[in-house]
Amino acid sequence: MIVALIDSGLGMLPTAARLRQARPELDLVLMMDPDNAPWGPKPDGWVVDRVVGTAQHAVELGAEVVVLPCNTASVTALSHVRAALGDTIPVVGTVPAIKPAAAVSDRIAIWATAATTASAYQARLIEEFASHRTVTSVACHGLADSIDRGDVRGIGAAIAAAVAATPDNVESIVLGCTHYPLVLDEIVAQLPTRVTMFDSAEAVANQTVRRVDEVGSSGSGTGRVSVWLSGIEGGLPASAQRYREGMLLRGDARAEQH
């Protein structure tokens, strides 16, 4: 069974790592686009063409389930990918964890990229699931880019700025960008201990496992992880090794020590 994950950068790693832990026999194809990252500021039509083309390439490589662990890709291109691939290839999208946070918290902050923070999509999710809560949207300028580069100083500065923009009395923070769980420890270290964190990686991984089981491929898989970078087969970017999830996907024993 081959599962393809598509994102411009390292935001797929939290979901991919959870899949590796839940189903180590799955063959994972990680399809990144470093030549064109980030996708957020790109025109919608460009993003649709890029994501649909990448998904079609994934199916040509044998993918039986396609995952978009990226808010930009999901918001902009999910319906187009499903239409292009048809009913036989399940496509799993990503939704920021606003609904579960609103179920247990009165005061919520949503950390996301500037593009997602300003999007009608996030506004609709807030209206649908958290209209009865106090919600603060925090644009985390430069955080996803710094994570992709493995820029420790940039990560710290972006987190500090986001913390400063977050009300002191928030009860929960929704990590509305799939990159952010990679630096969860750094984020938590700068926040009051009472704040609860929510992200979408576990839910997306769980949904992917359900779709894998529904497909019921006759092949058991070998547990191979392959990486494609802007359409060319390669390896995980060096910056991925900064994160536990990147080390786990490489089979690095040090991942268990983090």
Residues with catalytic roles: 70, 177
The count of other CB atoms within 10 Å of the CB of residue 178 is 29
The tokens for 42 are 């790109």
> Can you tell me the distance from the alpha carbon of 149 to that of 15, in angstroms, rounded to the nearest whole number?
19
Would you say 231 and 34 are in contact if contact means Cβ atoms under 8 Å apart?
no
The tokens for 153 are 């100083």
> Can you tell me the distance from the alpha carbon of 18 to that of 196, in angstroms, rounded to the nearest whole number?
20
Mapping DSSP to helix (H, G, I), strand (E, B) and coil, where does residue 215 land? helix
The count of other CB atoms within 10 Å of the CB of residue 253 is 8
